[in-house]
Amino acid sequence: MSVPTSVDPRWLDLVDAVARRRLGSRDRTGPALSAAVRAVSAVYTRRERTGPASLASTAGADDVLAARLRFFLPRDLPKVGGPLRELAWAGLLRTHGTLRVLDVGAGLGTSTFGALDTIGSLGAGADLAMEVTALDTDARALSIFADLSEALRAAPWASEWPRLRVRTLVADAMDPRRIPPGPFDLVVAGFVLNELSAAEEGHAAAVSLAEWLRALVARVSPDGALVVLEPALAMSARALHAARDVLMQVPGHVCIFAPCLHAGPCPMLERARDWCHEDEPARLPPALAAVARGAGLRFEGLTFSYLTLRRDGATLAGALARGDARFRDRRALRIVGGARPTKGKTTITACAEGGRVELIELARDVGRDGVVGQLARGDVVGVVAPQGATSVRLGATDGTAESAPVVRARPSSSDPQQTGRLLPR
């Protein structure tokens, strides 16, 4: 299968025009841009972070801004699409009328533009108006966000997408008193926590983060959602897992829509080396791929961790059961690792109510019709297996193990063939 391009090239043209106008002689392209991207990446991934160092103090404000605008914005723009498509698949994302959006830690507008791109790809055109309140402490970044929005409205292809109206607000996103009360149909917080230095550690940090998430959910309309995106890094992802567990200790106020298919403790916290993240197949456009290579970064695949929260009790697991009868009598699992082939056997790790589940296939059982090798991180599967079972052998025909087909759903995919697919047996 060919790997799809991750971003519409027209976004690159839009970014280029604004970067040239706003940065002028301070703009960065070619090797200079790759060097700036490499420095910013080192901060994002904590490789060169000591104490409360900020992006600006690490690489210089102009370099940082050029890297964020020319590379990180278009590269990260599609990431919010996966969580939003899951909501849309469940019929829980508005595509007409007015969608009130709060972009927390909005920066240059990556999450907003990603939402616009995704919702537009779902068929919502000018019939939908996105009214966005963009909140950030960085007035300069918000100013460029506003410029990008104006340039988008003037683009000849803007009519293909929802109408966008942006109001910027310079304020501390981590202070609940400064967050507008709403209600909002969609709240997005994209890569905010990774850029902040928390005073607390361990459980205290998880409690503080959970309280902040609860404050954001309080701004969500009764049928709306909060989507939190973080890098696919152990530190930030596990912090999100821990906060999620704290939230679940107070039932009824916040519900997990995705990625979790259960409300039990997060199995990824049982071992320090584990964390849950997505790895969507994608390929950067050539211009961005060249920058990524120059910076020593990967240029295929979109990796991130996320959490989608709601107030109304709706869950992805419930939507699967309602939308596909085959999930009603199967155990729903989310794949959280890659397939591990060994001699005569292939294994993959999934997350479910009660903890990890290892799906195992023996070559002698399945021949060339194996299922496990077709699964990918982030897939949702339905398997006939006892509740509480920590391993399931697929494909056995001697009556000693599970032999029923596996149902795979990919609610985040824009390809309808990836939803509710019955894998061969």
Residue 300: its pLDDT value, please?
Answer: 85
The domain that holds 300 is classified in CATH as 3.40.50.150
Which of 276, 310, 344 lies at the terminal end of a domain, its last residue? 310
For 159-163, 210-214, 238-242, 328-332, which range has the lowest pLDDT when averaged over its residues?
328-332
In the chain, pLDDT over 70 holds for what percent of residues? 87
Residue 58 covered by a domain? no
pLDDT band at 91 (very low <50, low <70, confident <90, very high): very high
- Could you tell me if residue 397 is inside a domain? yes
Whether residue 354 is found in the same domain as residue 254: no
pLDDT of residue 416: 45
Q: What are phi and psi of 238, to 5 degrees?
A: -70, -30
What is the count of structural domains for the chain?
2
**Would you say residue 412 lies in a domain?**
yes
Give, as one character, the DSSP assignment of residue 415: -
DSSP H helices, 24-138, are 30-44, 55-59, 61-67, 73-76, 81-89, 110-121
Q: What is the pLDDT of residue 417?
A: 45
- What pLDDT, on a 0 to 100 scale, did the predictor assign at position 397? 52
What is the mean predicted confidence (pLDDT) over 291-312?
92
pLDDT score for 67: 96
Task: Kindly state whether residue 32 falls inside one of the protein's structural domains.
Answer: no
**Confidence tier at 424 by pLDDT (50, 70, 90):** very low
Is residue 57 pLDDT above 80, yes or no? no
Beta-carbon contacts of residue 275 (< 8 Å; ≥ 6 apart)? 232, 233, 234, 237, 238, 241, 268, 305
Query: Which pLDDT score is estimated for 388?
Result: 78
**Same domain assignment for residues 241 and 365:** no
Most confident by average pLDDT, 42-46, 58-62, 239-243, 412-416: 239-243
pLDDT at residue 200, as a whole number: 54
Contact 164, 116 (CB under 8 A): yes
Residue 49 backbone phi and psi in degrees, to 5: -115, 120
Predicted confidence (pLDDT) per residue in 347-404, tens digit: 999 998 888 999 998 888 777 777 888 888 888 988 887 777 888 888 765 444 444 4
Rounded distance between C-alpha atoms, residue 269 and residue 201, angstroms = 15
HSE, CB side, 13 Å, CA atoms: give it for residue 420: 13
Mean pLDDT of 272-301: 90
The answer as to whether 304 is a domain residue is yes
Domain ranges, residue 198:
80-310
- The two beta strands, 355-362 and 345-352, are antiparallel
Let me know if residue 275 belongs to a domain: yes
- The pLDDT value recorded for residue 59 is 39
Q: Would you state the pLDDT for residue 358? A: 92
Summary mean pLDDT of the chain = 85
Pairing of β 380-383 and β 407-409: antiparallel
pTM of the predicted model as reported, rounded to 2 decimal places: 0.91
Residues 6+ apart with CB under 8 A from 11: 74, 77, 113, 117
